[in-house]
Amino acid sequence: MEMPILNEPKKCYNEPMHTCEHILNQTMVRMFGCGRSINAHIERRKSKCDYLLAQPPTEGQLTEIARKVNEIIDSHLPVYEQLISKEKAAKIVDLSKLPADASDTLRLIHVGDYDACACIGQHVENTAELGHFEIISHDYENGRWRVRFRLV
């Protein structure tokens, strides 16, 4: 049985933090050539994401991650959804994490022209609603870099 169109948000993540996760994911992809987070725990007060990296980011790279995420937030980009066929979406975004029973119509979330991702979560309407991104802590073990962050 085919799933319904993914046009209604189903996960109840905190909207600002979840939107920030999208920006962080794209920043990591661009800076390190890695995939999007392999695991995430998104909460209002603090959140964490895990990435597969050959080595942990340097202090300079940590500063650059935070600078870039805040640059995108401060750009006041619109956050919007697009309903699109799975076939067309595959030419735009990575669908490797998509469930096998996903419908033929997907919901892509765009953060301006910075990021696009198939997603069923809830998001803000503009990055101006996010606040300031801060890395709280991070650790590295067996190729997995975990970053904990918040919005203030």
What are the residue ranges spanned by the domains of the chain? 15-151
Rounded Cα distance, 149 and 39, in Å: 14
pLDDT digits (tens, 9 = 90+) for 70-123: 999 999 999 999 999 999 999 999 998 888 888 999 999 999 999 999 999 999
- Rounded to 5 degrees, what angle do the CA atoms 44, 109, 13 make? 20
Please tell me the CATH superfamily of domain 15-151, with its number.
Answer: Threonyl-trna Synthetase; Chain A, domain 2 (3.30.980.10)
- Alpha helix ranges (H) inside the chain: 15-32, 59-74, 86-89
Query: For the whole model, what pTM was predicted?
Result: 0.90
pLDDT digits (tens, 9 = 90+) for 36-72: 999 999 999 999 999 999 999 999 999 999 999 999 9
